[in-house]
């Protein structure tokens, strides 16, 4: 098992190429999400929406910008959105994060670049036309997403953890 290698190689990509991702690879990434832990077995409260339609991605990219002139999708050809029917429940957000994390690690393992994208969710939630285009049922709200594709520039493997500020205390 090479879990640590996937963790070391996973980098947030903000410059995707326009090369398409095969259906087979996308399905493997979605499969990874389905192996994620889900608190209290609340599986029916979660929904994955796989977006590969270029026009729809462009609408999301244009309508969901928090910062002008900064693309939230960074050119990714695939966006996998995690929504929940219980968005006010903190556990729903934790479950969504678990699904996204599994997708990001699976994508890395498959040689694909990826990015955790959360900032678009409030904008999607307020845009009824986009929610309809995404076929989101009325009781589901977007919580998190994973942008997937190939990096334009080579990804550099980390030799040491990027996070050296989190306090770790061992109690024995």
The reported pLDDT for the residue numbered 157 is 73
Confidence of residue 44 (pLDDT cuts 50, 70, 90): very high
Is the model's pLDDT at 1 over the cut of 70? no
CATH superfamily of the domain spanning 3-149 = NADH Oxidase (3.40.109.10)
Sheet with 78-84, strands from edge to edge, namely 46-51, 78-84, 141-149, 113-117
Q: How far apart are CA 162 and CA 127, in angstroms?
A: 35
Q: How far apart are CA 162 and CA 156, in angstroms?
A: 12
Mean pLDDT on 133-159: 92
pLDDT digits (tens, 9 = 90+) for 76-123: 999 999 999 999 999 999 999 999 999 999 999 999 999 999 999 999
């Amino acid at each position: 098992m090479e879990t640590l290698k996937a963790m070391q190689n996973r980098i947030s990509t903000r410059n995707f190429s326009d090369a398409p991702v095969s259906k087979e690879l996308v399905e493997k990434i979605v499969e990874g999400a389905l192996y994620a832990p889900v608190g209290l077995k609340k599986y029916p409260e979660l929904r994955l929406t796989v977006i590969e339609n270029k026009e729809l991605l462009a609408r999301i990219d244009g309508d969901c910008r928090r910062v002008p002139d900064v693309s939230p999708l960074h050119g990714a050809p695939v966006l996998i959105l995690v929504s929940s029917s219980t968005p006010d429940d903190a556990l729903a957000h934790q479950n969504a994060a678990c699904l996204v994390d599994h997708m990001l690690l699976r994508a890395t393992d498959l040689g694909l670049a990826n990015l955790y994208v959360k900032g678009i969710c409030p904008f999607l939630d307020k845009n009824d036309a986009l929610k309809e285009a995404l076929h989101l049922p009325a009781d589901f709200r977007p919580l998190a997403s994973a942008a997937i594709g190939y990096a334009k520039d080579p990804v550099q493997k980390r030799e040491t953890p990027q996070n050296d500020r989190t306090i770790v205390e061992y109690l024995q």
